[in-house]
Structure 1
C-alpha cells in the first residue's frame, strides 16, 4: 500500500525535484488537514512560509501539494484586502489551507501581527453591520513570498520557513513536468488517507511532542525560543508520521530532520 501511494503521488520525482525541503512542506501539509484538531490539543499549529526568488519553484510546489487533497488553487493577497476582508477569508476557510501571497514591492502593506491569533486559539473578531462577532479559524495558514517577510519576532516565531533559494537548497534532478502534470485524481489517494487518519495523527503528536521539545531545548539551550522549539517538535512528529505513511528512505528522513534542526539552530543565533 505504501508503494502504491508513493507511486500515485510520484513521491520519488517530488523528492528528486525539491529534496528535503519539499518533504518538510509535505509533512506540514499533511498536518494542516487537521490543523484545528492539533490547535485544540496543542494550542498551536505553525504557519508555513515558503520563500524563494522567482523561478525557485514556489508555484510548482503549491500546485503539487494542492493536488494531494484536492484543494482548488486559491491564493489571497492579504495586503490588498481590508481587515474586514481578511477576516471574511479566514472565517469562510473551513478546514482548508489558506495560501497568502506577500507582494513586498507593493505600496500596500499588512500588519502581520494581525495574524497571530490564527496560530493558537484560532479565534479572531469579525466586524459587520455595526456588530462584532468572534469567529474561529479552522484551517491552516501558508504564506509565500519572494523575500523574507518584514514582520515582528513574535510573528516570525510562529512560522516554519522553507527557503527554496537557500544556498544549500536541493538542485532539481528531474524536469518540472515530472511532478507538474501529476494526475489530481490519482494524487487524491493521499488526501483520502490523511483525512481518515485524524486520530492517528493527533495521538502520535501528543505522544512524541514532549520528548522532541525536550531534546531540542537540551541541544540548543536557553537561546532557543520556546515557541520555535514547539514548532520544530511538531514538525519532527509530523515528519515521523509522513515517513510511516510513505515508507520514506532513511537518507531522505535524515535530510529532512536536518532542515528542521537547522531552523532551531538558526533561531539561537543573535541578529
Structure 2
C-alpha cells in the first residue's frame, strides 16, 4: 500500500517521539534521584533504547520505512534509495518528534529532576556527552556505532532471509540497537541519531530545570555529524556490495 507523504511524516514524528520517550525515559529512571530504578545498571538503558527502536519499527516500518533518524534518511538519499524532495520534511518531523518525546519524559519525571543535583546526570537524560570530554573519541565512537547500526539495518531489512517476514526483521532491529548500546554505549551514551541528540538538547536549553547546568553545545556537532557520515558510508557500501 502506498501512503501519502503526510501519513508517512506522521509515522516518522510518532516513531521518533516514541524512541526518545522509551530510550531517554530509561535513562531518567536510572539516573534521576528517587526514582524506582535509580542506580540500576546499564542494561536497563540498553533495553529502553532497543525497544525504543523495535516498537516504532514494528508499528511504522511498513508505513514510512521507520527511519526515525536524519542520518539514515540522508544516507539513503545520497545512495539514490530515497527521494531528496522528502529529506527535509522527514528530518523536520524527526527532530520535532524528538523534542516532543523529551518534553513528555520531563513531564513524567519532573519531581525527580528537581531533586537531582548532578547536572551531568540531568543532561544525560536529554543528550549525549563524552565521558572523558574528548570530541575525537566521541566522534570515533559515534561513527563506528552508527556505521554498524546502518549497515545492520539495511542488512536485516533487505536480507532474503527476512523478505517474507519483515516483522521479524524489525524485531531484530531492536536487538541490534540493544546490543549497540551495551557494546558501544560507554564512551558517549551513545547517540547514533542526530534527532535523538539534537531535539532533546534544544529542550534542555529551553526548559527551566533546576540544576540543569550547561547544554554543552560545543560538543553537539559530534552526535550530528558522525552518524550522518557513517550512514553515507554504510549505505553506499551495502548498496555497492549487495544491491
Task: Confirm or deny a common fold (TM above 0.5).
Answer: no
Which structure shows the higher strand fraction? Answer: 1
Normalised to the residue count of structure 2, the TM-score between the two structures is: 0.30
Tell which structure's C-alpha radius of gyration is larger: 1
Normalised to the residue count of structure 1, the TM-score between the two structures is: 0.27
Which structure shows the higher helix fraction? Answer: 2
